[in-house]
Structure 1
């Protein structure tokens, strides 16, 4: 349940976040990342479990990164993604 009143800016931010998370495959990606013991995953490890092409996986990860839901770190030729849990906590939701 939401606690307190949302400001217009907070409502705009939450609506944008919900739009990003409104894509089922993005929720699956978040779930797969969160399920890793290290709480991170290489982008290359998501294509097969999701049955998607690497460009499609990269697109969805980019959208979530640009929305501030994920952080990424390049290690050589690979990019690893981690969830920013503080961005997924919605005023007590």
Structure 2
């Protein structure tokens, strides 16, 4: 004969902890703020990387123009580099 009494199972690890609504709302707000900050940092890093890449490209163009012996004023105007940046390239 089988026992018809159900055996209780440990369900505490399967159910989420109950939180008062205020705590849940505050946690959700914090999560959203952190996600927003993370996204802003991600975009900042992306734009900084793009700016560095653009600048590196301008330096490469300037090197080529220096090898072609174009006038410095023309190179500065074409690349948007500063006199100091062009001087450093010219010294290399």
| TM superposition score normalised by structure 2 | 0.32
**Which of the pair is proportionally richer in helix?**
2
**Higher RCO (C-alpha under 8 Å, 6+ residues apart):** 1
* Structure number with bigger Rg: 2
**Which of the pair is proportionally richer in strand?**
1
